[in-house]
Chain A
Amino acid sequence: MTWLNIILQGVLIGGLYAMFAAGLSLIFGVMRLVNIAHGDLIVLAAYAALMVTQAVGIDPLTSLILVVPVMALIGYALQRGLLNRTLGDDLLPPLLVTFGLSIIIQNGLLELFTADSRKLQAGVIEVQTFQVAEGLWVGLLPLIQFIVAVAVIAGLQVLFYRTALGRAFRATSDDQSVAQLMGLDTRHVFAMAMALSLAIVAIAGVFLAVRANFDPAIGPARLIFGFEAVIIGGLGSMWGTLAGGVILGVSQAVGAQIDPGWQLLAGHIAFLVILAVRPQGFFPKVSH
């Protein structure tokens, strides 16, 4: 029963990793951009939620009403103002510019909020648990987090295949110049993708901040978790990122149970093993 419990906790935390991954996967899919600052943006969202909760006095989950649009706006502006300039055949500019951005966000947060670790208080839902089976307990917060993750990914799936914006995303992903010929403003489409990515980042950031302590330096590790979930799940597949996140979460939970020092290591090793035996991931995108 202990092991079943551990695996269940791993699955639930996997939802959070899937949210880290979904934003990363989305912009890679649409514009082949890998955002090295993705993890730092998650932390930025956590601090934004911290400021909102302190200033307005609302609880963290309600603060999403403000944090999500703000992060989406930042994403739109960032893409239009900076990142669109880096896109092209050359791999270096987007990588190095987002790497520079990562350093700027980390040190900016350090300057503003110091290196002290913070946490968002969500009240009773943090500690509420209920029994799902004999000896099997689930926390309310992890459960909400997982349901939100599933909803986010289902929402992305609908958006991609059922809406005009999704059609524009798929068109630019397939062939940028043809999409442009068909009258799409790709700069705007890219900016919308980044806005959407950062909206998901905002949700992920708030859940991260409620779940555990955070400080300005934890961004890169979140980027790595998101990235591992993307690769495990298979590039380009949204439901794959959920599976990837869950696999990563379960590996970490099992590793931590064996030895606390092995929590992160077990996750990385699971990733490397999957890379070795199944480099295309579990749910690679089917050709369309």
Chain B
Amino acid sequence: MALIALALIVLAAAPYWGDRQTLRLLAEVFTFVALASLWNLLAGYAGLVSVGQQAFVGLGGYLLFALAMLADVHPIAAIFIAGPLGALVAIPVAALIFRLRGAYFAIGTWVVAEVFRLLASQVSVLGGGSGISLPAAVVIAMAPSRQMREFEIYWLALGLTVLVLAAIVVLLRSRHGLALTALRDNETAAQSCGIDVTRIKFLVYVLTAFGTSMVGALIFLQKLRISPDTAFSVNDWTAFVIFITVIGGIGRIEGPIIGTIVFFIMRQSLADLGSLYLLMMGAVAIVVMLWAPKGLWGLIAERYGWQALPLQRRLIQNDTRTS
């Protein structure tokens, strides 16, 4: 715990020790940690494998632009409004796609994301198919100087990611979390213990949409420009996120964090390869899935018994006969 607190203090102070490039990179790392952690909650714990979370990243982004441009909401406030609105949209979406099981659910989520993308390109006040930039007036209203604005966005990214992670930890340590862990390990057994599987899956889906929409809004506040293709990109917001989670270790809170670090190291060193790099990424994901399905953190945890946060429940055996 002390280690985590120390890391957080160092990261929070980054504007005082890092240059602009470092800040930007770190903020991006944070948003991917948040997205991957949310996807991990959905797929790793609740067994809802979605390949359509870009629906909510894009929705969050578009909500930010709509609120800031059409309703004069302060961009930072807009991020926090995007969360509940995203969750609200997720309720009817879940009602619909929960009719699909397993892998067909996955493709169903993708269809929803496509529908969102096509709808977004029909909204001409938000740039239609070619997209739009956040007006300078809105950007300047955030903070007077460019440096201050970059600091603000950095802290927001850090804060939001910590918030998302904390919320997931709290959820997993709660009664629902116990149910979720049971669900992860064996769905049928969990059901036979009286867990309302559908209800908890629904809850997780809506909560994930809440978080993902907020992160999406933040991502597009960083970018200052949005278009249907970038907002609802399956590569950026789903393929990378799945890669991160699988490499790091699915179904473990630490997995997405390790995975994001590995992903960014790979990206910084191999991005020049272009499509070859993506090809390698796909191959690495397949190899990990088949031969080390618990990911990097799974390997570490099995070997050393580490866990970053107390989430595992161990049976304590009191042997009373010998005493």
A residues bordering B, Cβ < 8 Å?
28, 32-34, 36, 82, 85-86, 91-97, 99-104, 106-108, 110-111, 220-221, 223-224, 227-228, 231, 235, 261, 264-265, 268-269, 271-272, 275-276, 279
| Contact B290 A85, beta carbon cutoff 8 Å | yes
- Secondary structure at the B interface, as helix, strand, loop or mixed, is helix
Question: With a CB–CB cut-off of 8 A, which chain A residues contact B106?
Answer: 34, 36, 95
Complexed CA–CA distance, A264 and B122 (Å): 12
| Contact B96 A275, beta carbon cutoff 8 Å | yes
- Nearest 9 CB-CB pairs, A to B? A34-B103, A103-B282, A107-B275, A279-B99, A104-B282, A100-B286, A107-B279, A100-B282, A100-B285
Does B210 reach chain A (CB closer than 8 Å)?
no
Question: With a CB–CB cut-off of 8 A, which chain A residues contact B51?
Answer: 36, 99
Of A106, A108, A231, the contact of B104 (CB 8 Å cutoff): A231
Does B246 reach chain A (CB closer than 8 Å)?
yes
Does B281 reach chain A (CB closer than 8 Å)?
yes
| Contact A275 B99, beta carbon cutoff 8 Å | yes
Among B106, B107, B114, B276, max chain A CB count under 10 A is at: B107
Instruction: Compute the total of residue contacts between A and B using a CB distance below 8 Å.
Output: 118
Given the known interface contacts A92-B250, A104-B279, A264-B118, the answer about A275 and B100 at a Cβ–Cβ threshold of 8 Å is: yes
Complexed CA–CA distance, A95 and B107 (Å): 10
CB proximity to A under 8 Å, residues B80-132: 96-97, 99-100, 102-104, 106-108, 110-112, 114-115, 118-119, 121-122, 129
Question: With a CB–CB cut-off of 8 A, which chain A residues contact B276?
Answer: 107, 111
| Contact A224 B114, beta carbon cutoff 8 Å | yes
Minimum CB–CB distance from B161 to chain A (whole Å) comes to 24
Of B43, B96, B239, the contact of A92 (CB 8 Å cutoff): B43
| Contact A111 B103, beta carbon cutoff 8 Å | no
Task: Enumerate 9 A-B pairs (CB-CB under 8 Å) in ascending A order.
Answer: A33-B103, A34-B104, A96-B49, A96-B286, A100-B282, A220-B110, A227-B104, A227-B111, A276-B96
Question: With a CB–CB cut-off of 8 A, which chain B residues contact A107?
Answer: 275-276, 278-279, 282
Given the known interface contacts A82-B286, A224-B110, the answer about A103 and B278 at a Cβ–Cβ threshold of 8 Å is: yes
Minimum CB–CB distance from B187 to chain A (whole Å) comes to 10
* B48 to chain A: closest residue by CB: A91
Minimum CB–CB distance from B37 to chain A (whole Å) comes to 17
Question: With a CB–CB cut-off of 8 A, which chain A residues contact B279?
Answer: 103-104, 107-108, 111
Complexed CA–CA distance, A34 and B290 (Å): 17
